[in-house]
């Protein structure tokens, strides 16, 4: 049996792990040990995903919680190192670009344990984003790098990562969307919120560059203005809520502010919206997979294929006065839909390659 320690800590990682853990279970040759760092600890950003997606209870919950970048990462690193020494796994698997990702990879490399990075090779080329730094450092020290597209592979090759480490497998989030499609349809979220399909916009804001700056006020002032003409639903991230309270910002009562949603409710809400406005990397893709146009409130995105597809457009948060024009533009386009991120078999491809690498 191959012993894999999988490090997860944030909502997108719980979702991706649901697909890959199933693939490991099917092959019956993997003993996977889940470690939850506690980076996302709010029940609606953590606990509900384990129950809905039938994800095994983590053997370890490090309960690190919210803190500064340096303190949070250091606490994770120390605690992960201790458990890796105790478990002695064959490899450590990390997802994406969070502090949990970097801490898991650093702990493993210091102990000479091979690292598997799922969703490797993405680049925004904006080092002011913590996620970009996490990606670059994790990719540099990983032994198996599973990338979603040729462009991601090319990014790694440009950085002199050896080609034999790089494997194009598609995007595991597409696996998840397909895997839970029927369950998402059972959600009653539209009825609960009294929302007819295609009558509303979904907006989410949570990234540090938007919540820890004047961007947040620019964004929510624009949302207040939009709400006189558009139905807007905002599942409000705890960090964003705290910042708005600190700023004493008053949100227009016409905007539907709701708690963060579980996976099924969120997918039903996105699928039936007419447009998504977000700064999330994951939600850009989820909108695309449901054929919903998206406006991304960032200067750059690591998911460049979505921009090229015409289904996603970037809007600088400093230019929120243009949001109505962008909405009108995106609501009136019907670009061709071609998925550049595989066929929804990414988890099986990853599991097979890991087993092949370790001769199982």
Q: Active-site positions? A: 206
- List the structure tokens of 72: 């949070």
The Cα 257–Cα 235 span in angstroms is 6
Q: How far apart are CA 10 and CA 111, in angstroms?
A: 24
DSSP 56: P
Most distant CA atoms of the chain, gap in Å: 61
Give the list of residues 6+ apart from residue 99 with CB closer than 8 angstroms, or none: 9, 37, 39, 69, 72, 73, 76, 130, 134
Check if the beta carbon of residue 61 is closer than 8 Å to that of residue 83. Answer: no
Q: Are 17 and 23 in contact (CB under 8 A)?
A: no
H helix count then E strand count, the chain: 17, 13
> What gap in Å lies between CA 360 and CA 351, rounded to an integer?
11
- Contact predicate 339/174, CB 8 Å: yes
Q: What gap in Å lies between CA 299 and CA 301, rounded to an integer?
A: 7
In 3D space, the residue among 85, 79, 147 whose CA is nearest the CA of residue 113 turns out to be: 85
Are 250 and 219 in contact by the 8 Å Cβ rule? The answer is no
Give Rg (Cα) of the chain.
Answer: 20
């Amino acid at each position: 049996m191959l012993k894999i320690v999988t490090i997860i800590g944030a909502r997108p990682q719980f979702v991706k792990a649901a697909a890959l853990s199933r693939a490991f279970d099917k092959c019956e040759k993997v003993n996977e040990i889940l470690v939850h760092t506690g980076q996302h600890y709010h029940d609606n950003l953590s606990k509900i995903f384990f129950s809905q997606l039938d994800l095994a209870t983590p053997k370890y919950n490090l309960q690190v919680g919210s803190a500064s970048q340096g303190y949070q990462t250091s606490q994770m690193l120390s605690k992960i190192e201790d458990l890796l020494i105790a478990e002695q796994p064959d490899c450590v698997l990390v997802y994406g670009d969070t502090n949990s990702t970097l801490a898991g990879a650093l702990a493993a490399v210091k102990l000479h344990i091979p690292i598997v990075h799922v969703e490797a090779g993405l680049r925004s080329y904006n080092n002011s984003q913590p996620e970009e730094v996490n990606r670059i450092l994790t990719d540099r020290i990983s032994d198996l790098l599973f990338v979603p597209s040729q462009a991601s592979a090319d990014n790694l090759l440009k950085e002199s990562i050896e080609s034999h480490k790089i494997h194009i497998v598609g995007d595991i989030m597409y696996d998840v969307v397909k895997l839970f499609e029927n369950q998402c349809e059972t959600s009653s979220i539209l009825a609960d919120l009294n929302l007819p399909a295609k009558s509303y916009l979904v907006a989410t804001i949570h990234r540090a560059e938007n919540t820890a700056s004047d961007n947040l006020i620019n964004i929510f002032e624009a949302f207040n203005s939009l709400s006189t003409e558009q139905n807007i639903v905002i599942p409000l991230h705890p960090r964003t809520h705290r910042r708005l309270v600190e700023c004493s910002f008053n949100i227009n009562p016409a905007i539907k502010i709701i708690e963060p949603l579980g996976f099924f409710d969120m997918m039903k809400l996105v699928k039936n919206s007419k447009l998504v406005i977000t700064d999330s990397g994951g939600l850009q893709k989820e909108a695309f997979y449901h054929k919903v146009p998206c406006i991304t409130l960032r200067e750059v995105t690591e998911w460049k294929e979505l921009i090229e597809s015409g289904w996603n457009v970037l809007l600088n948060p400093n230019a929120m006065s243009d949001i109505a024009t962008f909405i009108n533009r995106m609501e009136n386009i019907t670009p061709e839909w071609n998925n550049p991120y595989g066929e929804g078999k990414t988890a099986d491809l990853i599991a097979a390659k890991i087993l092949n690498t370790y001769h199982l």
